[in-house]
């Protein structure tokens, strides 16, 4: 079996990234009321979405105090937590999402 060359892998990654950029992102942000970390996380993810996914995302902000059933369904154990439902693979980010580079890499909006 032939191994993919690094250059080929990078081209494939970029091709998939361009294709993913056209897909709609489905995101859920779980927060705990209007705490400082929650409000920071909301502001940070909204800014990232507007800068990189304008018109291509659905962001649902869920207060786990008001909707604990949804949090249990997504197995949320800490808040704030961002869940990227689509495009696959599913990913989770815990914290106020202030590390923009890490979030962009995790959402596959930026290559390493």
**Tokens encoding 57:** 């995302």
Per-residue b or e along 72-102, where b marks 16 or more CB atoms closer than 10 Å to that residue's CB:
eebebeebbbbbbeebeeeebbebbbeeeee
Average pLDDT over residues 26-47: 97
| Count of structural domains within the chain | 1
pLDDT digits (tens, 9 = 90+) for 57-95: 999 999 999 999 999 999 999 999 999 999 999 999 999
Look at residue 75 and tell me if it is in a domain.
Answer: yes
Instruction: Band the pLDDT of 23: cuts 50, 70, 90.
Output: confident
Look at residue 47 and tell me if it is in a domain.
Answer: yes
Alpha-carbon distance of 101 to 98, in angstroms, equals: 9
Domain that holds residue 83: 24-106
Look at residue 72 and tell me if it is in a domain.
Answer: yes
Average pLDDT over residues 102-109: 94
Instruction: Work out the mean pLDDT of the chain and round it to a whole number.
Output: 89
Alpha-carbon distance of 28 to 12, in angstroms, equals: 28
Look at residue 15 and tell me if it is in a domain.
Answer: no
The share of the chain scoring above pLDDT 90, in percent, equals: 76
Look at residue 56 and tell me if it is in a domain.
Answer: yes
Return the CATH number at 29. 3.40.30.10
């Amino acid at each position: 079996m032939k191994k993919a060359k690094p250059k080929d892998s990078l081209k494939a990654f970029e091709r998939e990234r361009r294709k993913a950029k056209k897909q709609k992102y489905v995101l859920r942000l779980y927060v705990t009321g209007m705490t400082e970390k929650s409000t920071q996380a909301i502001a940070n993810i909204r800014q990232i979405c507007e800068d990189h996914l304008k018109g291509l995302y659905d962001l649902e902000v869920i207060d786990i105090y008001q909707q604990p059933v949804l949090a249990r369904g997504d197995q949320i154990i800490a808040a704030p937590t961002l869940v990227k439902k689509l495009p696959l693979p599913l990913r989770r980010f815990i914290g106020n999402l202030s590390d923009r580079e890490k979030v962009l890499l995790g959402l596959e909006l930026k290559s390493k």
